[in-house]
């Protein structure tokens, strides 16, 4: 019998398996695909803090980024340069594989091309290259992505909403030290162009509707050639409860993607650390009731819960921000003082402090207040959520 079975070998799953195995728990990680890290469903832009959390070498790093440029469709550009590395562009396939290898080095077992299809009486039923297996466990950690099958089996409620994303690697010359953000490319989220080495960028966007048509229009600004294209699902809004029935949900399975950026590596790996801590205590005390699992939710909530909650409220207002508003914000922030604020307080993983500071800008505050009123009207009179 395994103390812990981790379903999913993405960053959250591999981190959970590594932490559990390093704590002396007999750990198994299963992955439905034949190779860890594929298919890639991520922009691959990580903050330095997120990269450190992954505990990997620099082998997967493609590019260091020190700043960004926001492009308004009305012609305004807001550029800020931190003067030092603020983020890293990585090969997600290579990063995921190294994280899985680290989990195995810590003592975890791994089964590839193995799909978990049912759970009965603390036994996980799987099928795959090794045929049908029935694997008993004491605790389960679900790291099987935004459309988590384990969540469905357990009858748990999903994240609040899902966005679709499309991204392509294309040949394009740009300054490799800067990421480019295009809010108007996707009115309920944004588009991006991320340098991926000399002469190559990752162009993509995400949103709740018309994503394919938006992407087809957006990518024409860069290239007619596509070197590699991926699609993915981004959960927005944490599931109502992230534990229950001997199961802890981590990463995208729990809905821990950041609503301000769609990234989930930082919160996924952080949540896995908290899950492993609770798993160790539960296995030591041989207690797996919901009361014993509940400290997990308290731990991740204290760590990054307020950031996710604030980000989701910001996301709800996002689609009420017009192209004119974007242009006004761009111009209002395009001053030396505001740029210094962005550089000093900007944090990809914890953006709340920066947003609150930007709210002190009269233009930003006026737009936010107007949008908040529009959102309130939609709630009162049955408009769009």
- Give the position of tokens 């003592």: 107
Model's pTM, two decimal places?
0.92
Report the run of H or E that residue 229 belongs to, with start and end: strand 228-236
For the stretch 183-220, pLDDT in tens is: 999 999 999 999 998 899 999 999 999 999 999 999 99
9-23, 64-78, 256-270, 351-365, range with the lowest pLDDT: 351-365
CA atoms within 13 A on the CB side of 247: 26
How confident is the model at residue 42, as a pLDDT? 77
Q: Read off the pLDDT of residues 50-103 as tens digits, 9 standing for 90 and up.
A: 999 999 999 999 999 999 999 999 999 999 999 999 999 999 999 999 999 999
Q: What is the mean pLDDT of residues 151-163?
A: 96
Largest CA distance in the chain: 63
For residue 231, the cross-strand partners are 166
Beta bridge partners, 45, equal 89
What band does 123 get if pLDDT is binned at 50, 70 and 90?
Answer: very high
CA torsion through residues 13, 19, 25, 26, sign? positive
Query: Which has the minimum average pLDDT: 154-163, 201-210, 280-289, 318-327?
Result: 318-327
CA 382 – CA 385 distance, rounded (Å): 8
| CB neighbour class for 39 (10 Å; exposed up to 12, middle 13-18, buried from 19) | exposed
Percentage of the residues of the chain whose pLDDT score is greater than 90 = 79
Helices and strands (H and E) in the chain: how many: 13, 18
**Residue whose pair of structure tokens reads 């959250």 in the numeric block:** 12
Q: What share of the chain is helix, strand, coil (3-state, %, to 5)?
A: 40, 25, 35
Give per-residue pLDDT as tens, 318-345: 888 889 989 988 888 899 998 999 999 9
Q: How many CB atoms lie within 10 A of CB 302?
A: 10
């Amino acid at each position: 019998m395994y103390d812990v079975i981790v379903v999913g070998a993405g960053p959250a799953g591999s981190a959970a398996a590594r932490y559990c195995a390093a704590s002396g728990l007999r750990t198994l990680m299963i992955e439905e695909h034949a190779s860890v890290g594929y298919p890639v469903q991520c922009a691959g832009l990580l903050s330095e803090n997120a990269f450190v959390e992954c505990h990997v070498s620099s082998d997967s790093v493609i590019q260091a980024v020190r700043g960004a440029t926001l492009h308004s469709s009305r012609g305004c550009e807001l550029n800020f340069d931190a003067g030092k590395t603020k983020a890293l562009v990585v090969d997600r396939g290579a990063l995921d594989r190294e994280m899985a290898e680290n989990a195995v080095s810590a003592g975890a077992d791994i089964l590839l091309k193995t799909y978990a299809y049912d759970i009965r009486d603390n036994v996980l039923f799987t099928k795959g290259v090794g045929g049908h297996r029935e694997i008993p466990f004491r605790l389960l950690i679900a790291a099987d992505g935004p459309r988590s099958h384990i969540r469905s089996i357990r009858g748990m409620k999903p994240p609040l909403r899902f966005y679709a994303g499309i991204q392509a690697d294309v040949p394009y010359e740009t300054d490799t030290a800067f990421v480019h953000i295009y809010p108007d490319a996707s009115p309920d989220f944004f588009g991006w162009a991320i340098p991926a080495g000399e002469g190559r960028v990752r162009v993509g966007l995400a949103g709740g509707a018309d994503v394919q048509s938006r992407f087809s229009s957006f990518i024409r600004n860069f290239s007619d050639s596509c070197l590699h294209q991926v699609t993915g699902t981004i959960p927005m809004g944490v599931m109502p409860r992230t534990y229950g029935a001997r199961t802890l949900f981590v990463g995208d399975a729990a809905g821990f993607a950041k609503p301000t950026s769609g990234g989930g590596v930082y919160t996924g790996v952080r949540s896995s650390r908290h899950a492993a801590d609770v798993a160790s205590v539960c296995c030591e005390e041989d207690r797996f009731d919901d009361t014993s699992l509940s400290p997990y939710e308290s731990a991740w909530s204290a760590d990054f819960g307020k950031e996710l909650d604030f980000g989701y409220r910001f996301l709800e207002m996002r689609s009420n921000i017009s192209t004119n508003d974007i242009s006004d914000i761009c111009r209002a922030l395009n001053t030396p003082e505001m740029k210094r604020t962005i550089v000093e307080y900007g944090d990809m993983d914890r953006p709340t402090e920066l947003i609150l500071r930007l709210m002190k800008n009269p233009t930003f505050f006026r737009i936010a207040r107007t949008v908040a009123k529009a959102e309130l009207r939609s709630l009162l009179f049955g408009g769009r959520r």
